[in-house]
Structure 1
Amino acid sequence: MNDPTICRCEGVTLRQIEKCLTVPDTSVSLRELKLQTRAGMGICQGRTCMPLLMAIADASGRGLSNDAGLPRNQPIRPIAMADLMNVVSKPERSVAE
């Protein structure tokens, strides 16, 4: 495998991450890696790829030391249309009742 996938959710490869880390004379934060490559923006919100991203950034010598990482959002999950219709179709009770 010549170019392994690091972030499976977004299809980000090692080559894409290394390209971001090759900017001369600058350090790159994990947030910057995320913004430039979309790694960590998938459904798992970086729970799978973040350890790999941190290891790659550390090994390159271009990652920021003491980088706090990224805030994680709650993962999304599908909701059935029937559930949405039940919420919308229920009439609201008035205060007078």
Structure 2
Amino acid sequence: MEGVDDSNMIICRCEEVLLRDIITSIQNGAETLKAIKMETRAGMGICQGRTCRVLLEQAMTFYTNIDIREFNNVSYKNPVRPISLADLSQSRKDPS
């Protein structure tokens, strides 16, 4: 990460969180993955962190010098059951 401007690198695709958002959050005092998650929404998108968790942990380790094994305090929840938009729209009751 040194020598190259990585600040526009996407960390969380679902919520469009960039590395610079993570760095800003750390500079503002976030010291845990949960704090970063709450401030930036990283890991809160449709994949629930399955895609970005590793990148988020690596960024936290690099910019805070905290051991990656200390980041087990964040839970990523899978959706209960995937549902298509068509199924969702059919289940809506007509108010009339």
Q: TM-score, normalised on structure 2?
A: 0.71
Counterpart in the other structure of 2:77: 73
2:41 is the counterpart of 1:28: no
Greater RCO between the two (CA within 8 Å, min separation 6)? Answer: 1
* Pair member with larger Rg: 1
Write out the 4+ residue segments of structure 1 that deviate beyond 3 Å after TM superposition: 62-65
2:41 is aligned, of 34, 38, 43, to 38
Q: Please list every run of 5 or more consecutive structure 2 residues that lacks an aligned counterpart in the other structure.
A: 1-5
Task: Give aligned-pair identity as a percent.
Answer: 33
How many equivalent residue pairs? 83
Task: Report the AA paired with residue 59 of structure 1.
Answer: F
What is the RMSD of the two structures over their aligned residues, measured on CA atoms?
2.5
In the TM superposition, residue 69 of structure 1 has moved relative to its aligned partner by 3.8
Task: Report the secondary structure of 1:21's partner residue.
Answer: helix
Task: Report the secondary structure of 2:51's partner residue.
Answer: coil
In the TM superposition, residue 78 of structure 1 has moved relative to its aligned partner by 3.0
- Cα distance in 1 for residues equivalent to 2:39 and 2:66: 14
Task: Say if 1:33 and 1:39, in contact at 8 Å, map to a contact too.
Answer: yes
Task: Say if 2:33 and 2:74, in contact at 8 Å, map to a contact too.
Answer: yes
Task: Say if 2:31 and 2:64, in contact at 8 Å, map to a contact too.
Answer: no
